[in-house]
Amino acid sequence: MIQHENAHKFGMVVDLDKCTGCGSCMVSCMAENNVPFKEDETRKKDSITWMRVYKLTNGKPFPETEVVYMPRPCQHCSGLGDHGHSPCVSVCPATATDYGYDTGIVSQIYTRCFGCRYCMGACPYHARYFNWWDPKWPEGQENYLSPNVSPRMRGVVEKCSFCYHRYQLAREKGYMEEREIEENEYQTACTTACPAGAITFGDLNNPEHEVTKIVKPDPHPDPMNKNVVGKSRNPKVFRLLERLGTNTKVYYMSEREWVRKAGDNYLDGEWDKRKNHHGSSSDHG
């Protein structure tokens, strides 16, 4: 690991109050990243969707029922204490996935992966998918495949890359014009596709970027759990399974309390205690 003085930390925040569950992000991701498809994609446990939209309900009976949709890309964990040992990276035996300390993005190299699937077991978000089949496209359809993302072969794991190739291309332009790239030059395919504008993507280390303004990540470890770093100081913003200390870089935002509660696991009655604490801690934010 090397220290980058001006390292980026790309992340996103999803406004769940705006998300309509329309699926544009999912399809944009598939089209952008050459994700294959099969005849039967209703077995969701072997259906490759780097971006998956979960449907959450508040579990109340008619007519108090409420529903919210939660888009889930790879969370790009930076691991316990924000040290870059994400659950998957630390377990990959062949270094087929690594943590980019310069971007905060968790890579996946299909040609290095030999398909042991340890990383999938280690990921609590089910963000990693295995190519159980050889990818096949109906005749002629491979014509729309993009050269910026290499198609995967059978027997390897794949996952969301925060559209890293878009970063690569943006940087090429940057080099050409001998300048740093702008916030809007590197945006993921799901972000640009979302018709509701529910997704905000950018550099969490850059106070100018919209995502940082919304999330207000706390650089200091959470006093309640030293493993947790980058907790949001916005009381409406939360992360998935934050308590595990995975330190994801995908944040979620909602006005609804039950939604924020659904983001993590709590013992009976624990939520109310923490909620209040969160409230207080959010004041200085």
Q: Which of 12, 113, 160, 204 binds another protein (CB under 8 A)?
A: 113
Q: How far apart are CA 28 and CA 253, in angstroms?
A: 22
205 binds another protein (CB under 8 A): no
Interface of this chain with another protein, residues 224 to 263, rule: CB under 8 A: 240-241, 243-246, 261-263
What type of residue sits at position 132?
Answer: W
Whether 280 and 235 have beta carbons less than 8 Å apart is answered as no
Q: Which of 7, 37, 205, 213 binds another protein (CB under 8 A)?
A: 37
Whether 67 and 17 have beta carbons less than 8 Å apart is answered as no
Whichever of 130 and 251 has its CB closer to another protein, that residue is: 130
223 binds another protein (CB under 8 A): no
105 binds another protein (CB under 8 A): yes
Whichever of 122 and 233 has its CB closer to another protein, that residue is: 122
7 binds another protein (CB under 8 A): no
Interface of this chain with another protein, residues 64 to 93, rule: CB under 8 A: 65-70, 77, 80, 85, 87, 89-93
DSSP readout, 188-247? -HHHHH-TT--EEEEETT-TTSHHHHHH-B--SPBTTBTT--S-BSSTTEEETTGGGT--
Whether 53 and 26 have beta carbons less than 8 Å apart is answered as yes
Whether 241 and 264 have beta carbons less than 8 Å apart is answered as yes
Interface of this chain with another protein, residues 136 to 195, rule: CB under 8 A: 137-157, 161, 164-165, 168-169, 171-178, 192-195
Q: Which of 207, 267, 280, 283 binds another protein (CB under 8 A)?
A: 267
Q: Which range binds another protein by CB under 8 A, 127-135, 205-213, 215-223, 230-238?
A: 127-135
Q: Tokens for 70, please give them.
A: 């939660």
Contacts of 235 (CB under 8 A, 6+ apart): 278, 279, 282, 285
Whichever of 180 and 283 has its CB closer to another protein, that residue is: 180
